[in-house]
Structure 1
Amino acid sequence: MQSRDIQSGEVKITVKKVHVQGRGAIVLTGPSSCGKGEIAKALQNILSIPNERHLSMGSILRMTIDRARNDQAFKEKLSADYGISYRKSIFDLSLNKREHVLKAEKYKKELDDYCVKEMISQLDWLEFCVVKGLLIPDLWTIKLIDAIFESSPELQDNIFILDGYPRTSVAAEKLLGTFLRYQIPLIKVIHLSITKEEMKKRAFERKRVDDDDESLERRYEFYIEKVHPSVDYMKIRLGSSRVALIDAHQPIYDQFDKLDIDKSIQQVALKVLHELGLPSYLLDLK
């Protein structure tokens, strides 16, 4: 606490970190390139949430593969309870959806080189997709979310951030069911919003190989057709007070009229913190 004018009673309070306690999920959602990952990291830093409690779909997939490699019981559970088996071939049409088999067949040679084994299992295919950055079947992502929460008491007993999930209304319904089953409160859904033009601008600035105009159009269309309805579904189920729409485009410029990225991210993070219920005197963060 730093006093600016003791006689008038004016006091400036600067807070660098807040240590949160309790249980529950903070869900971040929105279109591609809206800054979910950056806002999640800012919230982690301010609220003292460790890295292992910032879950993105990517981190969940990597966590699943790591546990399956090192924990035989978890590996067996994936097979028995969640339908992702290390004993069943991904190329067997009687055990897999045709679209999944056809996709795996496109990568047959790479799969053979990667796995170097006689039978390429469903679990092998999952690992290959994670390593190569390929899309995972929707049904599997829903099952993996459930598997991770069932086997992670540290998530059931603490506050965590879920970044970029759910992406469809069906996934939202399943997620709320999972939270109910393990009695995990959903603290707030933060819907970060940007225009299609701003999404494209941000994507082109980060210069990813797959960020061409056509793919970005598809991603925004997916957001409008799938992600946005999933937010509406959660609003109906949870009540409008539990879902906050926040403008993720709040640029701050320095004295030379150059975008200050860090301050811009912090500005959005402050809006999120306000929606999470932190009192205004704690939001003068440096």
Structure 2
Amino acid sequence: MIRVVFLGPPGAGKGTQAVRIAEKYNVPHISTGDILRAAVKEGTELGKIAKEYMDKGELVPDEIIIGIIKDRLSQEDVKENGFILDGFPRTLPQAEALDKMLEELGMPLDKVIYLNVDDEEIVKRLLARGRADDTEDVIRNRLKVYREQTSPLIDYYTKKGLLVEINGVGDIDEITKKIEENLGLNG
């Protein structure tokens, strides 16, 4: 069983690495970004609210995200195999809400993998992705918001003894291997 959070700026490779680990070890990959993009595409109430924030490069409010995550963590596949959270938590209140949820569910967190990538590399990667919402101004605003709101999580999880920092630049297979080693997986 794996219970891990992937942290890092947008474009650091969290999604890529989370999917690789999830598929290899049959663990549910829970991406708030994917959940939110699907809701926007489907035009759900949540999607309409989320789109307003996402279009400005701002974070979707905590209560919406926390509700989504709580529902997902209560599902059977998570109870059996654990989870890989990608894109949550992003703020200290979300991290505290996650701690409370996991305590109630009897599923303590194993590790927090922090993929560290500098801003210029992020801008280059995200512009290359070619998404409509990835203009340089929006990307730089997302990085500013990330640094302000998510960076405190690095200290929070370091103090809990859960944070593992991994350089997110380089060969994708090598980065995966470092993550597996830090999670105690035999690759």
TM range (shorter): 0.7 to 0.9
Alignment of 1:206-225 (within 5 A): 206-225=129-148
TM-superposition CA deviations, 1:2-45 (whole Å, max 9, x none): xxxxxxxxxxxxxxxxxxxx3x5211110010011111122123
Distance 2:3 2:128 in 1: 31
Choose the corresponding residue for 2:89, options 166, 169, 184: 166
Residue 169 of structure 2 corresponds to residue 249 of structure 1? yes
Aligned to 2:16: 38
Letter in 2 for 1:212: T
TM-superposition CA deviations, 1:211-252 (whole Å, max 9, x none): 22211211111121111112321222x22xx210000001xx
- Once the two structures are aligned, what percentage of the paired residues are identical? 32
Residue 68 of structure 2 corresponds to residue 144 of structure 1? yes
Distance 1:175 1:154 in 2: 18
Letter in 1 for 2:95: A
Q: How far does residue 206 in structure 1 lie from its aligned partner after superposition?
A: 0.9
Choose the corresponding residue for 2:113, options 173, 190, 194: 190
Q: Is the 8 A contact 2:5 2:85 kept in 1?
A: yes
SS of match in other structure, 2:125: helix
Distance change in 2, residues 1:38/1:200 (3 Å): same
Q: Is the 8 A contact 1:172 1:234 kept in 2?
A: no
TM-superposition CA deviations, 1:132-159 (whole Å, max 9, x none): 5854432211122223323x13212322
Choose the corresponding residue for 2:6, options 4, 28, 36: 28
Distance 1:125 1:44 in 2: 29
Distance 1:133 1:47 in 2: 36
Q: Which has the larger radius of gyration?
A: 1
Distance 2:47 2:11 in 1: 25
Choose the corresponding residue for 1:276, options 178, 183, 187: 183
SS of match in other structure, 1:33: coil
TM-superposition CA deviations, 1:65-97 (whole Å, max 9, x none): 7xxxxxxxxxxxxxxxxxxxxxxxxxxxxxxxx
Distance 2:79 2:24 in 1: 21
Q: Is the 8 A contact 2:31 2:86 kept in 1?
A: yes
Distance 2:166 2:173 in 1: 13
Aligned to 1:56: 31
Kindly indicate which of the two structures has a greater share of residues assigned to helix: 2
Q: How far does residue 265 in structure 1 lie from its aligned partner after superposition?
A: 1.3
Q: How far does residue 129 in structure 1 lie from its aligned partner after superposition?
A: 4.3
Q: Which stretches of structure 1, 4 residues or longer, exceed 6 Å deviation after superposition?
A: none
Letter in 2 for 1:194: V
Distance 2:77 2:21 in 1: 19
RMSD: 2.3
Letter in 2 for 1:142: I
Choose the corresponding residue for 2:174, options 267, 274, 279: 267
SS of match in other structure, 1:157: helix
How many residues end up aligned between the 2 structures? Answer: 179
Distance 1:193 1:62 in 2: 24
Distance 2:37 2:9 in 1: 22
Unaligned residue ranges in structure 1 (runs of 5+): 1-21, 66-113, 115-123, 251-263
Distance change in 2, residues 1:199/1:61 (3 Å): closer
Distance 2:29 2:167 in 1: 22
